[in-house]
Structure 1
Amino acid sequence: MSAHVPVTDPPGAPPFATRAGVRRAVSAAVAAPSVHNTQPWRFRRVDDATMELYADLDRLLIVTDPMGRGLGISCGAALFNLRLALRMTGHDARVTALPDPGERPDLLATVRAVPGEPPEAGERLLYEMIPHRRTNRFPFDGQPLPRDVFVKLVHAAHAERATLVPVTGRAARRVLDMVGAAEDTLAADESYRAELARWTGSGVRSDGVPEHAFGPRPVRGAPPLRDFAPGAARPDADFEREPRLAALFTRQDGPRDWLRAGQALQRVLLTATAHGVAASLFSQPLDLRAPQHRGDRPGPFGHVQMLARFGYGPAVAEVPRRPVSEVVDLREARRG
């Protein structure tokens, strides 16, 4: 499903006044990446200018993501795409995160469109990248990212009040060893394997990770990408010797920060796509982080929310997306 539906409403028209307007915005939102491609989001139109974003708790990964951190990051990525779609209509997005955590903890954000300036060229470019962004679990060629490109990724994270830090040298090796150890621990857990199996495979479905997106199994186990078919026969391949890694941090570590991390991550990934840079993500050590350690003293950059690998790799096919009709309540929108 393409994230791009032409903007045909009159300039300045409320973006959610018609079914077409709602569909255009939500189509962009649901093209965001999500943990295991669970797509754990729902949307509700409140009025012509207001949309609510909800967590779909039926899609929470109980074993991998019991606290909902990955779900929050996934929904944050969808929120960023929704904001971009609003900018294409000449509106700014006024976002209220977790407006009613006591009564409606699944309501992650209220997004109100207000009249703004026409979209800038950079915003248009990011919006155009939405349907082209992929998670790439295939070997990269080992070519380093130009410094100016990585600086753009850092600035993208900073624009969303997050911090992207390169991980190099011995630190990179320690991180990869930590990810590999976490991957081994998870793969040995029967409940984890069962949960993984529910979200992977070759059957016809509109969510989950299909076999074509697994990628080959790295020879000698480096880099330790998530194995979506533990123990199963799968092609192997040589990957780059020194993966280009980065860590994404937020100052705090709670539901609002997870939403912020998701928005920052998506801005970084779209910026990378605009510069021909591929990316894959690591979260295995974070999946194993016990809830009682969430209050641990953070490092100088705050709390790590995602580890990423950047580089130049082959083109990869898209993964399925749920249709808009499954994730949005259109009952109040006028036909258009």
Structure 2
Amino acid sequence: MRRLVHAAVAAPSVHNTQPWRFRRVDDATMDLYADLDRLLAVTDPMGRGLGISCGAALFNLRLAIRMTGHDPQVMPLPDPGERPDLLATVRATPGSPPDQDERLLYGMIPHRRTNRFPFDDRPLPRNVFLDLVTAAYTEGATLILVKGRTARRVLDLVAVAEGTLTAEESYRAELARWTGSEARSDGVPEHAFGPRPRNGELPMRDFTLGGAQAVRDRLPEQADFEPDPQLAALFTMGDGPLDWLRAGQALQRVLLTATAHGVAASLFSQPLDLRPPPHRGDHAGPLGHVQMLVRFGYGPPVPRVPRRPVFEVVDQRTREARRG
């Protein structure tokens, strides 16, 4: 169980909040819960980012189960009426040995990083991007390349959303709660902030807003980012809790596939953070709903960010005790 959970918690999460908990049901079954105490009320009021984060952890859990020669049977949202925080029940059943691709992706789990530093101008080879598209499709999602004028419009939307968020005191306070300290086991530490783009040429999320001036003074100077970022959008047909779980699993398969190719990635979600609470069914395009914007490229190596220890995310209580 420790090995499985250790793999699961290496998944990316919004602001590295790691909003998940796990419970062993029996020797073959594990529950994945949303840790609602870690929901970002300002940035993620609907829980979309939390759901995607937990979906990424679920994908890692599935991979770890496959390494044991078992097949993960996933029941998403098994009790939505009584336990909406119970996101999935995963049961391991006897299966075949893991194949080469599964072993490769599993081996990438400890090496995947979110890279907020400048990338160089090398384009992704066509076969690499096709592998990323296939990875998303395998998990029931769609990944498309965003380029040219469309890419610039998307980046403009990100910049406007970032400006709207940063103008809110509540957002800055929430950011301060989850940034800065190198000693804690969650949140975004200073070494992962990355430099600030010169002249605002790329609307990277500014994690310095939550810190004091002394923190800002220690951070890297402004830097020149790539003039034409290689952007992709991840879509799901629906836009509810099941779709967020699906998007998270697809995103993690895409990110691990990118890591296997030596491709770095960072994420943009600011325009999605500002979506109104009602689902936008009337505004869904032919590909469905955008769940994440991803920037791909070739960048410098970056250190890992901290993870909560396994004992901290494993709940020993039974379902009945949790209901009580």
Q: TM-score range by the shorter chain?
A: over 0.9
Supply the distance in 1 between the matched residues of 2:316 and 2:45 (Cα, whole angstroms).
Answer: 30
Q: Does residue 53 of structure 2 align to residue 74 of structure 1?
A: yes
Supply the distance in 1 between the matched residues of 2:315 and 2:270 (Cα, whole angstroms).
Answer: 34
Match of 2:256 among 258, 270, 275: 270
Supply the distance in 1 between the matched residues of 2:317 and 2:282 (Cα, whole angstroms).
Answer: 45
Supply the distance in 2 between the matched residues of 1:199 and 1:100 (Cα, whole angstroms).
Answer: 30
Match of 1:51 among 27, 30, 40: 30
Match of 1:226 among 191, 200, 205: 205
Q: Does residue 11 of structure 2 align to residue 32 of structure 1?
A: yes
Q: Does residue 176 of structure 2 align to residue 190 of structure 1?
A: no
Question: Is the 8 Å Cα contact of residues 239 and 279 (structure 2) preserved in structure 1?
Answer: no
Deviations 1:252-283, CA, capped at 9 Å, x for gaps: 00000000000000000000000000000000
Supply the distance in 2 between the matched residues of 1:282 and 1:244 (Cα, whole angstroms).
Answer: 12
**What secondary structure does 1:321 align onto?**
coil
Paired letter, 2:315:
D
Supply the distance in 1 between the matched residues of 2:279 and 2:25 (Cα, whole angstroms).
Answer: 38
Unaligned stretches of 5+ in structure 2?
Answer: 319-324
Q: In the alignment, which residue of structure 1 is the partner of 2:135?
A: 156
Supply the distance in 1 between the matched residues of 2:17 and 2:282 (Cα, whole angstroms).
Answer: 29
How many aligned positions are there?
Answer: 311
Q: Tell me by how many angstroms 1:142 deviates.
A: 1.3
Paired letter, 2:302:
V
Percent identity between the two aligned chains:
78
- Which aligned runs of 4 or more in structure 1 are off by greater than 6 angstroms? none
**What secondary structure does 2:128 align onto?**
helix
Paired letter, 2:268:
F
Q: In the alignment, which residue of structure 2 is the partner of 1:327?
A: 313
Q: Tell me by how many angstroms 1:203 deviates.
A: 4.3
Q: Tell me by how many angstroms 1:297 deviates.
A: 2.6
- CA RMSD in angstroms comes to 1.2
Supply the distance in 1 between the matched residues of 2:51 and 2:283 (Cα, whole angstroms).
Answer: 21
Q: In the alignment, which residue of structure 2 is the partner of 1:13?
A: none
Unaligned stretches of 5+ in structure 1?
Answer: 1-21
Supply the distance in 2 between the matched residues of 1:297 and 1:186 (Cα, whole angstroms).
Answer: 23
Deviations 1:63-105, CA, capped at 9 Å, x for gaps: 0001100000000000000000000000011000000000000
Compared CA separation, residues 330 and 88, structure 1 to 2 (3 A): farther
Q: In the alignment, which residue of structure 2 is the partner of 1:139?
A: 118
Match of 1:308 among 294, 305, 310: 294
Q: In the alignment, which residue of structure 1 is the partner of 2:91?
A: 112
Q: Tell me by how many angstroms 1:294 deviates.
A: 3.2
Paired letter, 1:196:
L
Q: In the alignment, which residue of structure 2 is the partner of 1:6?
A: none
Q: Tell me by how many angstroms 1:296 deviates.
A: 3.4
Deviations 1:175-207, CA, capped at 9 Å, x for gaps: 000001100111111000000000001241000
Deviations 1:275-308, CA, capped at 9 Å, x for gaps: 0000000000000111135333311110000000
**What secondary structure does 1:322 align onto?**
coil
Match of 2:233 among 238, 247, 255: 247
